[in-house]
Amino acid sequence: MSSTISDSTTRPKKLGGYDFYREVLRSPKYIVAPMVDQSELAWRRLSRRYGAQLIYTPMINAKMWADESHKHYRINNFDIVSGEEGDPATDRPLIVQFCANDPEKLLASAKMLEGYCDAVDINLGCPQDIAKKGRYGAFLMDDWDLIYKLINTLHTNLSIPVTAKFRVFPTVEKTVEYAKMLERAGAQILTCHGRLKEQRGQASGLADWSKIRAVKEAVSVPVFANGNILFQSDIEDCLRATGADGVMSAEGQLYNAALFAGLPPIPGPSSSSSSSTPSDPSSSSPIPSSSTLPPPLNAESHPSHVDLALEYLSIVQSLKTRTSVSAVKGHLFKLMRPALSRETDLREQMGKVKIGGKDADVSLEGGALQPYVDICLEMKRRMERDAKAVEGKTLEELVTIDEPTGLRVLPHWLAQPYFRPPPPPPPKKEKEPKPRLSINLSASLPAAETTVVVPAKRTI
């Protein structure tokens, strides 16, 4: 690490809250979530080309990072030496996320990266078994003293702001109390993921936007809303329903890297934090209110997925920073999913590609990516053939509706969100009306209505 980078004489005064949000982050509305093995540098570069205004790194384990014997862990998770990660010209604004349960180790790790990012985030939301084992993420939700110390230690000692990403509690009251505690501890931005700790995997269901709105109204730092974003229209709905300052997407953006493309710039919050806390988000929002009809699709946000895949591969190839094979594979499978379920021979070929042995450690250099490029080129040929067959039809004419969910399915050559079929309902004695998924994610549905969205597999 270069000591001059974080030297207080060269660094501008540390800003907080809305000053930080506006002046350093440039008032981002469209935010890519931290994603283990998926929000790596190459993906960040691609995402910024398609409208992402702020991106988080994948979660870094502070205990592992602080341990000098784990040199590989450092290089694989944030490559300082390459000079590309956190580069002010090409990889900002950037927030580095850590998970931790030891304030000193967290501080030691964060200090090493404070010169390469705009803020450090603490993951308080991971509900996975690995987080339970390591006691971090959502498994700290009941230890408020420790969480306070983690945040406050960074708030007091780092030259850049600390932020926090958390899940909601079963009640609005406890969620709001919790958010206020995070703010008191020193968090300068709060990302509220509107799902409970228990809502994971097949049981993910919908995020509760009404809790996010309650948080937004209770704190005076910027709030990002996370959960339920599949299509661009959900972004507008979410901003209106929650009053949040920005919308964060993980899976929606992973399956469609162009999720944020072509969106209009939205004015940032006004200069004081209190005036940006909406008493009535529907009237203060710059976004027009939604109608009951699904809003028209913005073609710019649904480009050819194989073109996105090829562009991503060329970014991977252009970087000095290594990209893990598992990240590349994960992105290609997700981006091209609508077509891979039909072009099963290409799916099989992609599954069989082996680069240099043990996936996790392999760097992608020279022509190593060629097998993926070849598969994508063949996919491109087939997709162009299919698109040609319906030439002249509009996008809306080509859209179909997924019966179980009521959600829109685009032609299989276009980037689009993925939603799983809902789990079959438990056997009932009496005949009941068929459960139907809501197409309109704008409302924060009460618990009874949240049978619904059908998220894809996640790792955190």
Nearer to ligand FMN, 164 or 369 (CB): 164
Stretch touching ligand FMN by CB under 6 A, among 31-39, 153-161, 180-188, 393-401: 31-39
- Please report how close the Cβ of residue 294 comes to ligand FMN at its closest, in angstroms: 19
Indicate the length of the chain as a whole number. Answer: 460
250 binds ligand FMN (CB under 6 A): yes
Q: How far is the CB of 35 from ligand FMN (least distance, A)?
A: 3
Shortest CB 364 distance to ligand FMN, Å: 19
Pick the catalytic residue from 117, 126, 192, 238: 126
| Six token digits for residue 48 | 């910024």
Does position 127 interact with ligand FMN (CB under 6 A)? The reply is: no
Q: Shortest approach of ligand FMN to residue 10 CB, angstroms?
A: 30
Binding flag, residue 459, ligand FMN (CB under 6 A): yes
Interactions with ligand FMN, residue window 363-392 (CB under 6 A) = none
Q: Is 399 exposed, middle or buried (0-12, 13-18, 19+ CB in 10 A)?
A: middle
Give min distance, CB of 60 to ligand FMN, in A.
9
Residue range at the interface with ligand FMN (CB under 6 A); choices 33-41, 47-55, 388-396, 404-412:
33-41
376 is catalytic: no
Give, in order, the Cα–Cα distances in Å from 384 to each of 300, 336, 342.
Answer: 17, 14, 15
Write out the DSSP string of 174-237. Answer: HHHHHHHHHHHHT-SSEEEE-S-TT--GGG-----HHHHHHHHHH-SS-EEEES---SHHHHHH
Tokens 């014997």 — which residue?
Answer: 69
Between CA 34 and CA 163 the distance in angstroms is: 13
Q: Which region among 13-21, 44-52, 247-255, 435-443 touches ligand FMN (by CB under 6 A)?
A: 247-255
Binding of ligand FMN by 442 (CB under 6 A): no
What does each C-alpha distance from 104 to 66, 109, 150, 151, 396 come to in angstroms? 10, 9, 8, 11, 55
* Piece of 27-35, 156-164, 292-300, 428-436 that binds ligand FMN (CB under 6 A): 27-35
What's the chain's Rg over C-alpha atoms?
22
Kindly write out the interface string for residues 50-89 of this chain, putting x where it contacts ligand FMN by CB under 6 A and - elsewhere: --------xx------------------------------
- Across 223-261, b (16+ Cβ under 10 Å) vs e yields bbbbbbbbbbbbbbbbbbbbbbbbbbbbbbbbbbbbbbb
Amino acid symbol at 82: S
Is residue 252 part of the contact set for ligand FMN (CB under 6 A)?
yes
- When asked if residue 458 is in the footprint of ligand FMN (CB under 6 A), the reply is yes
Which of 36, 52, 212, 328 binds ligand FMN (CB under 6 A)? It is: 36
CB of 198 to ligand FMN, least distance (A): 14
CB contact burial 97-124 (16+ within 10 A = b; e otherwise): bbbbbbbebbbebbbbbbbbbbbbbbbb
Distance between terminal CA atoms of the chain? 29
Tell me the three state secondary structure of residue 445: coil
240: helix, strand or coil: helix
Sign of the Cα pseudo-torsion (160, 143, 124, 169, in order): negative
**Region binding ligand FMN by CB under 6 A among candidate stretches 35-43, 73-81, 255-263, 413-421:** 35-43
What distance in Å separates the CA atoms of residue 308 and residue 370, rounded to the nearest whole number? 16
Question: Which residues inside 208-237 make contact with ligand FMN, applying CB under 6 A?
Answer: 226-227, 229
What's the rounded Cα separation, in Å, for the pair 156 and 186? 8
Kindly tell me which residue out of 53, 97, 101, 321 binds ligand FMN, with binding defined by CB under 6 A. 97
The residue within the footprint of ligand FMN, chosen from 101, 249, 276, 290 (CB under 6 A), is 249
Return the active site residues: 126
Q: Which residues bind ligand FMN (CB under 6 A)?
A: 33-36, 38, 58-59, 97, 123, 125-126, 165, 193, 226-227, 229, 249-252, 458-460
